[in-house]
Structure 1
Amino acid sequence: MLDRLTLPQPWLSLMLFVVWQFLSGGVSGGSAVLGLLLAWGIPQMTQGFWPERPSVLKWWRFPSYLAVVLYDIAVASVQVGWLIVSGRKPRPAFVTYPLSLDDPLAITLLAGTISLTPGTVTVDVSDDQRRLLIHALDATDDQAVVDAIHQRYERRLQEMFQ
Structure 2
Amino acid sequence: MKRLLPAPWLSLALWLLWLLLNQSLSLGNLLLGALLGFIAPVLSAPLRPLPVKIGKPWVMLKLLLRVMADSVMSNLAVFRSVWTSQRHPPRSAFVKVPLDLHDANGLAVLSMITTLVPGTVWSELALDRSVLLMHVFDLDDEARFIEHFKRSYERPLMEIFQ
**Conserved in 2, the CA contact under 8 Å of 1:122 and 1:132?**
yes
Deviation, 1:26, is: 3.3
Query: SS of the residue aligned with 2:83?
Result: helix
Structure 2 match to 1:58: 56
Change in CA separation of 1:53 and 1:91 when aligned onto 2, cut-off 3 Å: same
Pairing partner for 1:40 from 38, 41, 45: 38
Pairing partner for 2:75 from 74, 77, 95: 77
Deviation, 1:111, is: 2.3
Structure 1 match to 2:140: 140
Structure 2 match to 1:114: 114
Letter in 2 for 1:129: R
Query: SS of the residue aligned with 1:56?
Result: coil
- TM (normalized to structure 2)? 0.82
Quote the Cα distance in structure 1 between the aligned partners of 2:126 and 2:91: 24
Deviation, 1:147, is: 0.6
Deviation, 1:88, is: 0.5
Alignment deviations for residues 102-157 of structure 1 (CA, whole Å, 9 cap, x no partner): 21111122222123222221111111111110111222332111111011111111
Structure 1: 5+ residue stretches without partners: none
Quote the Cα distance in structure 1 between the aligned partners of 2:47 and 2:119: 34
Query: SS of the residue aligned with 1:47?
Result: helix
Deviation, 1:43, is: 2.7
Structure 2: 5+ residue stretches without partners: none
Quote the Cα distance in structure 2 between the aligned partners of 1:107 and 1:34: 34
Alignment: residue pair count: 160
Quote the Cα distance in structure 1 between the aligned partners of 2:99 and 2:79: 29
Alignment deviations for residues 40-63 of structure 1 (CA, whole Å, 9 cap, x no partner): 344334433332222322234222
Letter in 1 for 2:55: L
Change in CA separation of 1:82 and 1:53 when aligned onto 2, cut-off 3 Å: same
Query: SS of the residue aligned with 2:79?
Result: helix
Query: SS of the residue aligned with 1:121?
Result: strand
Change in CA separation of 1:32 and 1:73 when aligned onto 2, cut-off 3 Å: closer
Structure 1 match to 2:91: 91
**Conserved in 2, the CA contact under 8 Å of 1:126 and 1:132?**
yes
Quote the Cα distance in structure 2 between the aligned partners of 1:110 and 1:75: 18
- TM (normalized to structure 1)? 0.82
Letter in 2 for 1:48: P
- Rg bigger for which structure? 1
